[in-house]
């Protein structure tokens, strides 16, 4: 069978539409998804709010499949009654799940004494805007924002940049090593078991396309440099949304 894919935007999802039972995913949907999406986990299929379509979470991508497993729709489902983008909500959840799967001990964390909100940042030591962002980390901390860094060498892994970032993560003082590298002071070679490849793969999974990429607590993803006051406000709002405060 040849999989037909239609790249369309589903314009509306009315609140009156019934949802399917969570255990009623047709076998045809499971078969097609596992056959045509490499490494797909069937546990990432769930009923969508639209009768006859099932939602598939595949990394940062959200697809909808017909019950017979023949058609895939890629696009955003908008609930015009509630004014919400249901697909983006699913993307946010996928990002949160990916970030939660990573150990904070494997991140380089700059934290204030009292934390109002947390941002997780995919960074590259060769990125000028990452260096600019890093200069404002003390101001973010002063505003109650914890900054957690993940390694994302843009040129890929393996690469000389990835090796330098591994050395930073292996340094006795990661914080100073990262700060020095972002200031252009060079990197002392070090070796150890490090999370650079894991961080890089996680970045690809959530859809990182450049650095810095900032993920807020509610799964919102911001690409590029954001001034610290605007970021602090956005981070606090996202934390409230995520924690229901």
Q: How far apart are CA 12 and CA 37, in angstroms?
A: 26
**What are the backbone angles phi and psi of residue 78, rounded to the nearest 5°?**
-110, 125
Provide the pLDDT for residue 38: 87
Q: How far apart are CA 131 and CA 207, in angstroms?
A: 21
Provide the pLDDT for residue 8: 37
Q: Which CATH architecture has domain 4-99?
A: Roll (3.10)
Contacts of residue 219, Cβ cutoff 8 Å, sequence gap at least 6: 91, 92, 93, 94, 95, 96, 242
Residue with tokens 């946010």: 92
Provide the pLDDT for residue 23: 53
CB 48 within 8 A of CB 76: no
**What are the backbone angles phi and psi of residue 52, rounded to the nearest 5°?**
90, -5
C-beta atoms surrounding 109 within 10 Å:
15
CATH 3.10.450.70, the chain: domain bounds: 4-99
Instruction: State the burial class of residue 85 (Cβ atoms within 10 Å of its Cβ: 0-12, 13-18, 19+).
Output: middle
Residues assigned a catalytic role:
124, 127, 130, 154
CATH 3.40.30.10, the chain: domain bounds: 103-243
pLDDT digits 0-9 by tens, 115-168: 999 999 999 999 999 999 999 999 999 999 999 999 999 999 999 999 999 999
Q: Give the DSSP per-residue string, 184-237.
A: T-------S--SHHHHHHHHHHHT--SSSEEEETTS-EEES---HHHHHHHHHH
Q: Strand 71-74 to strand 4-7: parallel, antiparallel, or no bridges (unpaired)?
A: parallel
Residue with tokens 């919400």: 84
Q: How far apart are CA 164 and CA 171, in angstroms?
A: 11
Identify the CATH number of the domain defined by range 103-243: 3.40.30.10
Low-confidence stretches of the chain (pLDDT beneath 50): 1-22
Instruction: State the burial class of residue 18 (Cβ atoms within 10 Å of its Cβ: 0-12, 13-18, 19+).
Output: exposed
């Amino acid at each position: 069978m040849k999989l037909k894919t239609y790249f369309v935007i589903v314009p509306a999802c009315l609140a009156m539409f019934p949802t399917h039972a969570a255990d009623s995913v047709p076998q045809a949907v499971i078969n097609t998804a596992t056959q045509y999406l490499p490494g797909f986990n069937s546990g990432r299929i769930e009923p969508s709010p639209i009768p006859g379509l099932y939602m598939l979470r595949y990394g940062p991508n959200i697809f909808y499949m017909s019950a017979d497993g023949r058609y895939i729709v890629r696009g955003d489902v908008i609930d015009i009654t509630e004014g919400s983008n249901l697909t983006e909500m699913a993307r946010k959840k996928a990002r949160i799940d990916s970030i939660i799967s990573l150990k904070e001990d494997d991140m380089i964390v700059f934290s204030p004494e009292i934390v109002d909100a947390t941002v997780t940042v995919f960074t590259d030591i060769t990125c000028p805007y990452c260096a600019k962002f890093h200069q404002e980390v003390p101001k973010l901390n002063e505003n109650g924002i914890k900054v957690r860094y993940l390694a994302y060498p843009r040129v890929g892994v393996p690469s000389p940049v990835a090796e330098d970032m591994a050395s930073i993560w292996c340094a006795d003082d990661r914080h100073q090593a990262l700060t020095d590298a972002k200031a252009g002071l060079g990197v002392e070679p070090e070796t150890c078991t490090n999370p650079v490849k894991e961080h890089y793969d996680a970045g690809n999974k959530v859809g990182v396309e450049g650095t810095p990429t900032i993920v807020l607590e509610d799964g919102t993803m911001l690409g590029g440099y954001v001034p610290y006051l605007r970021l602090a406000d956005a981070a606090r709002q996202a934390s409230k949304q995520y924690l229901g405060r």
